[in-house]
Amino acid sequence: MDITRLTAIELGKKIKSKEVGVVEAIKASLEKIEKYEQEFNCYVTIDKEGALKRGEEIQKLIDEGTLDSPLAGVPVAIKDNICTKGLRTTCSSKILSNFKPTYNAEAVINLEKAGAVIIGKTNMDEFAMGSTTETSAFGETKNPWNKEHVPGGSSGGSCAAVALEECFYALGSDTGGSIRQPSSFCGVVGIKPTYGTVSRYGLIAYGSSLDQIGPIARSVEDCANILEIISSFDVKDSTSIKREEYDFTSALVDDVKGMKIGIPTDYFKEGIDEEVKKAILKAAKTLEEKGAIVEEFELGLVDYAIYAYYVIASAEASSNLARFDGVKYGYRTKDYENLNDMYKRTRSEGFGTEVKRRIMLGSFVLSSGYYDAYYLKALKVKALIKEEFNKAFKKYDVILGPVAPTTAPKLGESLSDPIKMYLGDIYTVSINLAGLPAISVPCGIDSKGLPIGLQLIGDCFKEKNIIRAAYAYEKTRPYIRPTINI
């Protein structure tokens, strides 16, 4: 038996029944990493020693019967913008290349309480700004299905590591699609929860009003279980929400009878690849055959979300990234004349092109004289977008559509034209603007052999609806793993 092929929940069960040892599972993951890392570059840091040591401790707790979580002992990879105590956390940026957090993110604390074993930190677009994982200062990650293609981004390292079975599941973060889009491009499952569900404490901020941590795994069942573990009300995050319930796993029911699903016709107008469109509509048909009530509707404002998003996200980024100044942590330039000069040179040398581009745009839209015309305008459009979704969720339990207009582009194709790259986020950014939960679940393979992702969107706090729909859909098709050529 190849242990690494198990889902996280399957492995958890085998660990519990003593069929597989925790250290044995960690070693299996490390072997896979050894085999694939040079080719695919999913990780920035691999914590071999730490993981093995922790594995022994966890095994002891399981044997004593003091650890009873479904994921106890299961190896996990963490996106490199989520703080892990004593374990280097870089945001895939030169400016944080030597940063060791002194504390764990709340989501990591929750995982560790449940007995998770962190195996490493995954590659990403620098500061989560990008859709390809090519803006990393530590080199690009490659798509497990085809090495000439990008894994998507910004959580590209997490999604590729899950697809390559270099870990059993991973955490990612999603500001404008950064969990869902790489999940789609790598053929795995990813959830962006309702804003405020998972604490942002210890998540290095990009766009604070949009950022959410979420799970990435090879099954809907895994994702629901992980989400249940990492979600919590946290006083350390002032936007954390005290939810009425944190149960997501009871939605793992293979039944969508009577569920009302809406498909926005605006999603299929132009720019969408024919094969993607076909796969999405086929998935809708499948859910209809299982008893869901599926109909088309006009969502509205679909084309505007992307511009509102880039104004808001860049504005917040310009403010959030002001803290990287070469004083308290990270990189500092070697030569400087005075404090101001030190700040400028440190930041200019430490940040990559895409990060600088967004900091500049953000500084502009927030600057005196332009604030009303750009930033305030974007916030008003955000209000209109939220209203469109409110109207839609009066009629539907779930909104169904694609995650991205195409499958994974080739390496090097996207960065030359940033606007084109931004337009690829058309189906994902509005969900962050409206604070909604959404899941990406594999629904097909195109003629190039690349996976296609189905996006199911729910109303705020209605994760259960999308988990149920995704679970029922997933039951109709087997999990397809990439054939890996190295």
- Count of residues in contact with other proteins, rule CB under 8 A: 65
CB of 52 to other proteins, least distance (A): 23
Decide: 420 and 462 in contact? Cβ < 8 Å.
Answer: no
Instruction: Candidates 24-32, 219-227, 274-282, 328-336: pick the segment binding other proteins (CB under 8 A).
Output: 328-336
Under the binding rule (CB under 8 A), the answer on residue 200 touching other proteins is no
CB of 164 to other proteins, least distance (A): 32
Which one of residues 36, 343, 393, 396 is an interface residue with other proteins (CB under 8 A)?
343
Under the binding rule (CB under 8 A), the answer on residue 310 touching other proteins is yes
Q: Pick out residues in 20-49 that bind other proteins (CB under 8 A).
A: none
Catalytic residue among 136, 178, 199, 318: 178
Instruction: Candidates 162-170, 212-220, 310-318, 463-471: pick the segment binding other proteins (CB under 8 A).
Output: 310-318
Under the binding rule (CB under 8 A), the answer on residue 247 touching other proteins is no
Q: Pick between residue 239 and residue 476 the one whose CB is nearest to other proteins.
A: 239
Rg (CA), the chain: 21
Instruction: Candidates 118-126, 140-148, 212-220, 306-314: pick the segment binding other proteins (CB under 8 A).
Output: 306-314
CB of 188 to other proteins, least distance (A): 27
User: For residue 465, what are its two tokens?
Assistant: 């609806």
Which one of residues 331, 393, 427, 473 is an interface residue with other proteins (CB under 8 A)?
331
Under the binding rule (CB under 8 A), the answer on residue 367 touching other proteins is yes
Q: Pick between residue 56 and residue 341 the one whose CB is nearest to other proteins.
A: 341
Q: Determine whether 79 is an active site residue.
A: yes
Here's the x/- map for other proteins, 92-111, by CB under 8 A: it reads as: ------xxx-xx--------
CB of 427 to other proteins, least distance (A): 17
Q: Determine whether 93 is an active site residue.
A: no
Q: Pick out residues in 428-447 that bind other proteins (CB under 8 A).
A: 434-435
Q: Pick between residue 47 and residue 388 the one whose CB is nearest to other proteins.
A: 388
Q: Pick between residue 191 and residue 378 the one whose CB is nearest to other proteins.
A: 378
Under the binding rule (CB under 8 A), the answer on residue 134 touching other proteins is no
Which residues carry out catalysis? 79, 154, 178
- Point out which residues bind other proteins (CB under 8 A): 98-100, 102-103, 195-196, 209, 235, 238-239, 241, 301, 303-304, 307-308, 310-311, 318, 322, 325-332, 336, 338-340, 342-345, 347-348, 351, 356-357, 359-364, 367, 374, 376-384, 386, 418-419, 434-435, 460
